[in-house]
Amino acid sequence: MNRNLWLKSLLGIVLSVCIAFYVNVYLKSLREEVAVVVAAKDISPETKISADMLTTVKVNTMDQNLLVPNAVLQLSDVVGSIAMTKIKAGSVIQKEPTQIMAPIDYSSSTSPASGDVKKSFFIPPDKRIITLKLDGEGSVAFALKKGDKVDVIFTSMASETNGIYSSLILQKIEVFDAEVIADKDKTASNTAVMQNVTLLVTPQEAQDLALAKRKGKIDLALVPATTTGANNAEMPINPTYPTKFTTNRPR
């Protein structure tokens, strides 16, 4: 009887010590903080990250491990890296290849002359880029910027493509890059002012655009930033050319 009572008492003491220990560890973890690197300002894609673009904030260690386990903890690990996508101010910098590219990763993809990262490094494997030379009418009054989405309208002006007509041939195509046009040229009446607009497309879309820009005129229509709802439903896309131009082309 006394022995059983002694064992129960001992077990109670051991359990109490264990509970006290783990509670203390848990409470201590709630107080522990770690500094994580965040963007001090908006960082544009393909930008080399400098120290003035970054800052650090302290967060609870448990929250960091749970919410952003890949967070960068040292400024030196980010400075000199390249932003792969737009990083908004206040966003935690993470060790993700889709967000940043470390200098050691892009060293073999830089241009020896300038040190800039080659454009080809930012093209997804299943995509291609193709450039269109457009006037103010075709490029939304030179207002297009990198990251915009556009619809592509082809206007035939040749008898070999069945006369004059317009057709929507591609939709929601991303602008990969757009040449900057000076303000004085935007307002000038000189129709010779042209802008190079580079689009991110699939190989097949690149082939269609290459043929379209040689057989007629191309205009780009800016897609609304928010494309949800009935008013923004996609329109049917018509073939770029009559059947004889598409079915017999070389593969």
CA 242 to chain centre: 35
Q: State if pTM tops 0.85.
A: no
What is the Cα gyration radius of the chain?
A: 29
For the chain (251 residues), the mean pLDDT of every run of 10, in chain order, is 68 76 65 83 85 86 75 86 85 83 56 55 85 89 88 80 79 89 64 85 93 89 72 53 40 37
Q: What is the pLDDT of residue 249?
A: 39
| Closest to 219 (Cα-Cα) out of 113, 109, 144, 162 | 144
Q: Domain ranges in the chain?
A: 33-110, 123-246
Supply φ then ψ for residue 127, to 5 degrees: -120, 165
Q: What is the pLDDT of residue 175?
A: 92
Long-range pairs of 76-82 with CB within 8 A, sequence gap ≥ 24: 77/37, 77/102, 78/37, 78/49, 78/54, 79/49, 79/50, 79/51, 79/54, 80/48, 80/49, 81/48, 81/49, 82/46, 82/47, 82/48, 82/49, 82/106, 82/117
Task: Please name the CATH architecture into which domain 33-110 falls.
Answer: Alpha-Beta Complex (3.90)
